[in-house]
Amino acid sequence: MQTQPWWGSPLVAGIFAFAGVMVAQVVVVTLDYFKVKREDARRWHAERRIIYAEALSIALKLAEMARTYNTGDDFDTSKWDGPYMDLTHKCGEIQLLGSSPVRKAILNVYGILIDCMNEINDNRLSTSNERDGEVGECLDTFAAAARKELGVKE
């Protein structure tokens, strides 16, 4: 004597199979979401690292050019055009991607290097190391802010 209908066992098995598939899909979608999020974070971190390094390199080049002028050597201000435009471009990228301390620091670097350029163009850049100290301090502040944002330990 059979107490259950003939379709009962397949129905229960089908419901549990369907529930298993649904749970598996939720797990796969969740894992994929976190994987994509982790990859995005890694990609943005790498992109910011490259941009910060390039900006620092360009700024150091411009600072060295200003320092060369301070030593009394001949200085051709047209040499500033390429690095200056590169730094302007990197500042724009940092304004889009960087944190607030990094954005402020690169704007300080940019501003002081523009001041140096203007003083060179007007032939009024002092020969003292005062401007070198200001430039160095701004560069150090930018580097420290970038290192902190990127999680670089001392």
pLDDT value, residue 126: 58
Please tell me the distance from the alpha carbon of residue 71 to that of residue 73, in angstroms, as a whole number: 6
Residue 147 to residue 141: CA distance in whole angstroms: 10
- Each of the 154 residues of the chain gets a pLDDT tens digit; together they read 567 777 778 888 899 999 999 999 999 999 999 998 888 778 888 899 999 999 999 999 988 887 776 555 565 667 778 888 999 999 999 999 889 999 999 999 999 988 887 777 676 665 545 677 888 899 999 999 999 988 888 7
Instruction: Judge residue 109's burial from the number of C-beta atoms within 10 Å of its C-beta, 0-12 exposed, 13-18 middle, 19 or more buried.
Output: buried
Question: What angle, 0 to 180 degrees and rounded to 10, lies between the N-to-C axes of helices 130-150 and 8-70?
Answer: 170
Q: Does the pTM exceed 0.75?
A: no
Residue-wise pLDDT tens digits, 53-93: 999 999 999 888 877 765 555 656 677 788 889 999 999 99
pLDDT of residue 27: 94
Is the domain defined by 44-150 classed in CATH 1.20.144? no
Two tokens, residue 106:
């690169």
The residues spanned by each domain of the chain are 44-150
pLDDT for the residue 41 = 78
